[in-house]
A and B are shown apart, each in its own frame.
Chain A
Amino acid sequence: MEALAANGSSILFYVFGALAVISALGVVTMRNPMYGAISLLSSFLCVAVLFLLRHAEFLAMVQIFVYGGGIMVLFLFVIMLINLHRLPEVKKFAGQSPVVILLALLLLGFFGWFFLQADFGPGFTRPEAFITADGEPLGNSQAVAWSLFTRHLLPFEIASIFLLIAMIGAVVLGRRQ
């Protein structure tokens, strides 16, 4: 029991990392896009737990709300909107997929080897950086908000314009001619 408590975060990382990878594999292999979407949701939730383990509490909640709530609902709506009557007889993978598997494994091997070579040293030297807003220890949400509205105000405004453009684009694309 003590060993479990001492290694809790490591165990959580391995369990939820494995679940995220399995669900991601489900996304790319499921024939029915509905099962794929549920798989994607599970992957997002597992990644949210991994965010929590890295002291990104606000971002974990944003991940669950925006990905798990907004984007997933959008996907599910569209999957239900278009009818998939020819589902059983269509081919799942395109003709180039053996080459793609090879390239993905090559990419994975190359970068994996590179990551394992790299030594980043001890991290998390200033834990207070994640909870300090305006010089006071208030919490992660306040710290992110403080950073967003002071140092990163211009990108924030550009993001809002980007969202407006995306919204107009989606409306124009979805309009009946």
Chain B
Amino acid sequence: MLEVTTTHYLVLSFVLFSIGIFGVAARRSMITVLMSIELVLNSVNLNLIAFSYQLSDLTGQVFAIFTITVAAGEAAVGLGILIALFRLRETTQLDEATELRG
């Protein structure tokens, strides 16, 4: 059977990345948009790990830990914004948040 190389990991990571980008841009529910951002950050981690293995360098793994930190902070603040939006508008649909449209 085919040996799994860095290219396999890159392609898989980019498939996940594209799915996440699609979710961010095309969905109307803010919860799903936030979950898609998590998917994108996670696929970047996969990329970092693949190159860490490729180059036999631990720095990629350490960097992935920082990415997870940023993802956790982003989730906390994003869900805070979601709660604030829900209090204001009784909805979580992003295209109903039109306060700044003018």
| A interface list, Cβ under 8 A from B | 3, 7, 9-11, 13, 17, 20-21, 24-25, 27-28, 30, 33, 36-37, 40, 43-44, 47, 50-51, 53-56, 58-59, 62-63, 66-67, 70-71, 74-75, 78-79, 81-82, 84, 86, 90-94, 96-97, 100-101, 103-105, 107-108, 111-112, 115-116, 118, 120, 123-127, 129-130, 143-144, 147-148, 151-152, 155, 159, 162-163, 165-167, 169-174, 176
Chain B, interface residues (CB within 8 Å), range: 35 or more
- Identity of the chain A residue whose Cβ is nearest the Cβ of B54 in the assembled complex: A123
- Separation in Å of the A137 CB from the closest CB of chain B? 13
A-side contacts of B69, CB under 8 Å: 159, 162-163
The answer to whether residues A173 and B77 also contact, given A21-B19, A123-B5, A123-B55 and a CB cut-off of 8 A, is yes
**Complex-state Cα separation, A126 to B53, whole angstroms:** 9
Picked from B10, B23, B56, B71, the residue with its CB within 8 Å of the CB of A124 is B56
Picked from B12, B32, B84, the residue with its CB within 8 Å of the CB of A21 is B12
Q: Are B45 and A90 in contact (CB under 8 A)?
A: no
Q: Count A-B pairs with CB separation below 8 Å.
A: 241
Interface SS of chain B: helix, strand, loop or mixed?
helix
Q: Are A36 and B32 in contact (CB under 8 A)?
A: yes
The answer to whether residues A144 and B62 also contact, given A33-B31, A54-B50, A55-B53 and a CB cut-off of 8 A, is yes
A-side contacts of B97, CB under 8 Å: none
Q: Are B16 and A27 in contact (CB under 8 A)?
A: no
**Complex-state Cα separation, A92 to B14, whole angstroms:** 24
- Identity of the chain A residue whose Cβ is nearest the Cβ of B56 in the assembled complex: A126
- Identity of the chain A residue whose Cβ is nearest the Cβ of B31 in the assembled complex: A33
A-side contacts of B100, CB under 8 Å: none
| B interface list, Cβ under 8 A from A | 1-12, 14-16, 18-23, 25-29, 31-32, 34-36, 38-39, 42, 45-46, 49-50, 52-59, 61-62, 64-66, 68-77, 79-84, 86-87, 91-95
Instruction: Give me the 6 closest cross-chain CB pairs, A-B, nearest first.
Output: A173-B80, A166-B73, A28-B23, A97-B26, A123-B54, A126-B56
Q: Are A28 and B72 in contact (CB under 8 A)?
A: no
Among A3, A81, A170, chain B packs the most CB atoms within 10 A around the CB of: A170
B-side contacts of A53, CB under 8 Å: 4
Q: List 15 A-B contacts (CB under 8 A).
A: A11-B1, A21-B16, A24-B20, A27-B23, A33-B31, A54-B50, A67-B42, A79-B31, A82-B86, A107-B18, A167-B76, A169-B76, A170-B79, A173-B81, A173-B84
